[in-house]
Amino acid sequence: MDSAAEISESEPSRRPGRKRLGAALVAIIAFKYLKAAAFVIVGVVVLRFVHVTRHGAPLEFARFLNVPADRESIRRVARLFDGFTSGQREAIGAAALAIGAVFAGEGTLLLARVWWATYFTIFLTLLAIPIELVEISKRPHLFRGWVYLSINVAILVFLWRRRNEFRSRITAPLPPAAR
């Protein structure tokens, strides 16, 4: 007797009718969560230092990162930070947190196999392509821009080919017992 209860007991990690996530999709989800974490960290750090004064910035940054205040990288970050008003800093921090939340949402929707999650991710990834092209046109010698563009194009191609994978759960006919 092969009932749904017996199947779920014999394989507790798999639900009936639910396909496993492929390695590429797991990598995309991990990439989205990694980007979310990076933006949240940037947002929290920027918001933490919104009201740092011009002369206290290097010392505050060094104390926060637990590094010597005379490091050149600390001075550069402090100079960059000094170029913004406190209102601009708040806006940058809030925007970074919002972008982090969007990336986390993308990863969560893909992980939950929501049928429109692939379309959502395709749309948001398409929005980033022009920004990356502008960055590459400004600094074509930087390898980083080309890597980001390649990763996002690969994500687009992969998700476009598998865009309806989660939809099969919705359109599948109901079993006779459920009618």
* Structure-block tokens of residue 138: 């400004």
* Structure-block tokens of residue 149: 């563009």
* Full DSSP string of 51-120: T--TTTHHHHHHHHHTS-TT-HHHHHHHHHHHTS-HHHHHHHHHHHHHHHHHHHHHHHHHHTT-TTHHHH
Blockwise average pLDDT, block size 10, the chain, 179 residues: 46 55 89 95 86 69 77 79 84 95 95 89 92 91 90 91 72 56
The 3-state DSSP class for residue 10 equals helix
How much is the pLDDT for 105? Answer: 96
* CB neighbourhood size of 83 (10 A): 7
What is the pTM for the complete model shown? Answer: 0.72
